[in-house]
Structure 1
Amino acid sequence: MRSLALQAGAEILRIYEGEDLGVSLKSDESPVTAADEAADKVIAAGLRAAFPDVALVTEEQSATHGQSLSTFLIVDPLDGTKEFIQRRGDFTVNIAYVKDGVPVRGVVYAPAKGRLFYTQADGTSVEEIGPFGDTPGPVQALTVSTPDNAALMVVASKSHRDQATDDYIAKYAVRDMTSAGSSLKFCLVATGEADLYPRLGRTMEWDTAAGDAVLRGAGGTVLNFDDHSPLTYGKAGFANPFFIAAAPGVELKA
């Protein structure tokens, strides 16, 4: 999964650094680029060869979306397409393995930022220190923060902020806020760079599974917004409810 994320990232950067991003619209009017499609081709072929007996769900292949699954691989080959189109760099490659509804392995690679996060064989999460080669290099273990509820660091979406999110964040004592695109928000909580990431908006499981796995492997939690129960995967249509990603110790608000 690490290797495929790096290969996909190389394809994405090749297109990102060119003049034509190959932007078009899908049937739901969301944008897709040549980089989404090139990365998906690399990852899907690699995963099907390596794990032929494991079901695969990928954003770019609608034929995979009608399955009813609890254990599967799930991919967003280019998360943060809007960031990619605007050349802001906050886009990622997301690959995850979900077992019995729980994302237990994940890789999040931000090629334009040179950051690579993943879960190890024991389920703990690390950030690999680049440059990245065929053989994994030195890693730094990830551990969530010990939050100060009187001075929280909050991360929110760069492209999908709305009034409902701002109103919810206003319930907390916030020291500072940052914005980020794609699944990088989960990784910022996993590294301790942020304490809390609320998402009061539409997401799909391929948007969140890899970052969720990385955060869980760093000691964090991803919870349903309404009842603070753990977010699960393999839901009908692979759509998520609103959720909250946080370091344990954050006093969550209703």
Structure 2
Amino acid sequence: MNYETLTREMRRLAIEAGVKIMEIYDADQMDVEVKADDSPVTAADKAADELISDGLRAAFPDVALVTEEQAASHRVDATTFLIVDPLDGTKEFINRRGDFTVNIALVEDGCPVRGVVYAPAKKRMFYTDSVGKSVEETGEFDPETPGETRPIRVSTPNNSALMVVASKSHRDQATDDYIAKYEVKDMTSAGSSLKFCLVATGEADLYPRLGRTMEWDTAAGHAVLAGAGGRVVRFDDHTPLAYGKLNYANPFFIAYAPGITLKDG
């Protein structure tokens, strides 16, 4: 894999998908359908998926592609694959809360090694560069011309005053009970894979997820967090969260800045 080409293409496609998404987001009316698993899907999901999938297949024809919106791709059996959630946080999108992202990642041997997370409504974009270090880009997000970037790095956490981020749409009592095991200075809520990015930038120290997620929901954010020095582990045994699992379903997990003393569930 040519990582320079990958970085350029992932960034470009995420921005172009973001343009399509925002056209629908800003429209007066939004049509919402319900998929077989009862999750919502919009025209924005479909338009972004088509743009990203076509672009990745053209640029990397020999690399397997898994994308949320194409059920046939969920049967891919490969150790190296691109994985896409064209619109992560559809509920946030439908409710016009802004916390939705475009997620594109590369998985190698069970590990997300490169990724981009773009939040067009929030005007924030995070990605791994060609050597795997994570940056945040600022500016106008021109798909062809990268703007200024700054390196991002996880915090040095204080276990007696932790900053915690949790899901905005999927918060439950089990999550609150687990968070209560820590000494928390402040808490915030965020949607989509932005939670990984808040840990990656040091805006939060800890993100526990005690709920259903799929690999396309997490791979890009996981890659960005790893490139900023963070970790993602299984909730049950604190071993690294691996990818390429059966049906691409994740167990519960914890994303965090090293230095936190993790609590058992």
Structure 1: which 5+ runs fail to align? none
What do residues 6-51 of structure 1 show as CA deviations (whole Å, max 9, x unaligned)? 0000000000000222211001111000000000010000000000
Question: What TM-score, normalized by structure 2, do the two folds share?
Answer: 0.95
- Per the alignment, residue 245 of structure 1 pairs with 255
What do residues 100-142 of structure 1 show as CA deviations (whole Å, max 9, x unaligned)? 1110000000000000000001100000012111211110101
The Cα of 1:70 is off from its aligned counterpart by 1.6
Partner SS for 2:153: coil
Matched-pair contact (CA < 8 Å) for 2:65–2:76: no
- Per the alignment, residue 99 of structure 2 pairs with 90
Matched-pair contact (CA < 8 Å) for 1:189–1:195: yes
- Per the alignment, residue 21 of structure 1 pairs with 30
Match of 1:136 among 136, 142, 146: 146
Matched-pair contact (CA < 8 Å) for 1:21–1:35: no
- Counterparts of 1:137 and 1:111 in 2: how far apart (Å)? 15
Whether 1:110 and 2:119 are equivalent positions in the alignment is: yes
Instruction: Report 1:1-254 matches (<5 A).
Output: 1-133=10-142, 134-254=144-264
- Counterparts of 2:163 and 2:79 in 1: how far apart (Å)? 34
Matched-pair contact (CA < 8 Å) for 1:56–1:64: yes
How many pairs were matched up? 254
- Counterparts of 1:228 and 1:200 in 2: how far apart (Å)? 13
Paired residue type of 2:31: G
Displaced runs of 4 or more, over 4 A: none
Partner SS for 1:24: strand
CA RMSD of aligned residues (A): 0.5
Percentage identity across paired residues of the two chains: 74
Partner SS for 1:65: helix
Question: What TM-score, normalized by structure 1, do the two folds share?
Answer: 0.99
Partner SS for 1:165: helix
The Cα of 1:69 is off from its aligned counterpart by 2.3
- Counterparts of 1:99 and 1:28 in 2: how far apart (Å)? 28
